[in-house]
Amino acid sequence: APVRRGSSGIGAATALELARCGARVILATRSARRGEAAASRIRRETGNNEVLFMRLDLASLRSVRAFASTFLRQEPQLHLLINNAGVSAGGTTEDGFSLPFQVNHLGHFLLTQLLLERLRSCAPSRVVIVASSAHCAGRLRPERLGRPPSGLFSAFQDYCDSKLANVLHARELATREQGTQVTCYAVHPGFVNTSLFRHAPLWLQALLVPLAWLLFLEAAEGAQAVLDCATQEGLEPLSGRYFTHSGPRVPWPAGRDDRLARALWEGSERLVGLGTPEG
């Protein structure tokens, strides 16, 4: 049973194709209305009734824990976890972290850790993390993880930082899961015409939306790179690598920094309360 994050855009397009292949798919998203509608549409289009919605709000670590608990109780099988959520908005979550960093990285990090034993017991299994070439502008500082950057373009910097975290998360997870048959891949799906920038400032939307219609891919095209990482045979030796439409690519230097990847992992554990008596 793949867990697929998303009720629209790349998430829904990926879930649709997985359902067409006969997989049992759990659509995990924040909005019950959109999630149920997407699951219903996919069941109707594919004839696969094994497509279900479960509520998950990555901006709430409490919600992530509740989702994982419910999933582990109800679903004995987990072979594929696709961490797809992406927001570009500024703001702060109920947990006190910057919104993009928590939704795009910390929430996914906690979810993956809580489901990791199930992935191991169902191995061979895969984790696919939807990253972005925007990681090129990421600047992660371990002592400031989760705090929004300052400056005029702080929301954009925050987004880039979270995408760098995605690339490093995949790299470190692959290192730690060597020998378990759990493999992990970070993927840049291309610049996709989705609602990613719907919360951006109006002046930025005015620049991005026309550009999106001209240059960006459709969601189904963007989903293909994700599907390749999820289903292509023989990728196991490439665990931890960064992929685009044209296969594995070398990430920007910060995305190859193993010391930073380890510091991000340890900092993320601390922020979400793992590895502590309370966690």
* Residues classed as catalytic: 159
CA distance 212 to 235: 31
Tell me the Ramachandran region of residue 151: left when phi exceeds 0, alpha when psi lies from -120 to 50, beta otherwise.
left
Residue 195, Ramachandran bin (φ over 0: left; ψ between -120 and 50: alpha; else beta): alpha
Take residue 140 and report the two structure tokens written for it: 């992660």
What are the angstrom distances between the C-alpha of 270 and each of 82, 207, 276? 23, 38, 8
Tokens (6 digits) for 211: 């550009």
C-alpha 204/C-alpha 186 separation (Å) is 27
Q: What is the distance between the alpha carbons of residues 113 and 197, in angstroms, rounded to a whole number?
A: 28
β-sheet bridge partners, residue 82: 4, 128
For 35, phi and psi rounded to 5 degrees? -65, -45
Angstrom distance (rounded) from CA 212 to CA 214 = 5
Half-sphere exposure of 213 (CA within 13 A, CB side): 5
